[in-house]
């Protein structure tokens, strides 16, 4: 028998300051708590196929802020930061994450965008501690699994079109992402 409980909370604040040239601030706080209990969460290879239960917990807390400002009437700039604090059992880590972008509207219906951002994903309880086997196939624990990080770059153009009552968008994007300590289940 496996049981888990997840509690997720988020509070977000958004305000546009007209006196500062329509500067928009979006800020917030996020928290998540996960408790998992079961015979699959034993956490080491020696326990594959054995009975018994184990409990694992993870906690995540983050604060974030993003500023958006219209420049030169056709360009909008964004910049943001997020600070993550993550704990799984007795392992704690923290990391700041940044992003920035520009949107250019040369004519009505056309949007050209450029953005850069960082990514961060800590391993889940399952990725670190699940131990189970189904026939010849098994899931094995990796309690030393590191959090994956990345950065990405995007350049895109989106064009609105309309033919009679039919309307839509064409969006062409070039995207590049670079990972470090990438984790993928095989």
What's the rounded Cα separation, in Å, for the pair 90 and 133? 26
- The predicted-structure confidence for 88-122, as pLDDT tens digits, reads as follows 888 899 999 999 999 999 998 999 999 999 999 98
Give the pLDDT band (50/70/90) at residue 8: very high
Residue with tokens 């056709």: 74
pLDDT for 53 equals: 67
Please give the backbone phi and psi of residue 18, each rounded to the nearest 5 degrees, phi first: -65, -40
What's the rounded Cα separation, in Å, for the pair 183 and 186? 9
What's the rounded Cα separation, in Å, for the pair 65 and 177? 23
- The predicted-structure confidence for 23-54, as pLDDT tens digits, reads as follows 999 999 999 999 988 877 766 544 444 556 67
How much of the chain is helix, strand and coil, in % rounded to 5?
Answer: 5, 70, 25
Residues whose CB falls within 8 Å of the CB of residue 132, separated by 6 or more in sequence, listed in order: 40, 48, 138, 139
């Amino acid at each position: 028998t496996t049981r888990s409980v997840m509690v997720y909370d988020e509070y977000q604040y958004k305000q546009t300051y007209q006196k500062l040239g329509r500067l928009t601030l979006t800020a917030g706080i996020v928290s998540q708590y996960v408790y998992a209990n079961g015979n699959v969460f034993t956490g080491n290879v020696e326990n594959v196929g054995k009975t018994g239960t184990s409990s694992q917990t993870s906690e995540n807390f983050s604060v974030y802020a993003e500023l958006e400002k219209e420049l030169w009437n056709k360009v909008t700039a964004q910049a943001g930061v997020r600070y993550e604090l993550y704990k799984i059992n007795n392992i704690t880590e923290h990391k700041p994450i940044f992003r920035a972008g520009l949107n250019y509207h040369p004519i009505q219906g056309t949007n050209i965008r450029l953005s850069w951002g960082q990514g961060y994903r800590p391993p889940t309880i399952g990725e670190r501690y699940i131990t189970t086997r189904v026939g010849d196939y098994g899931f094995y624990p990796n309690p030393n699994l590191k959090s994956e990080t990345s950065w990405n770059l995007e350049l895109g153009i989106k064009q609105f079109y309309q033919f009679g009552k039919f309307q839509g968008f064409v969006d062409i994007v070039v995207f590049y992402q670079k990972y470090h300590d990438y984790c993928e289940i095989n």
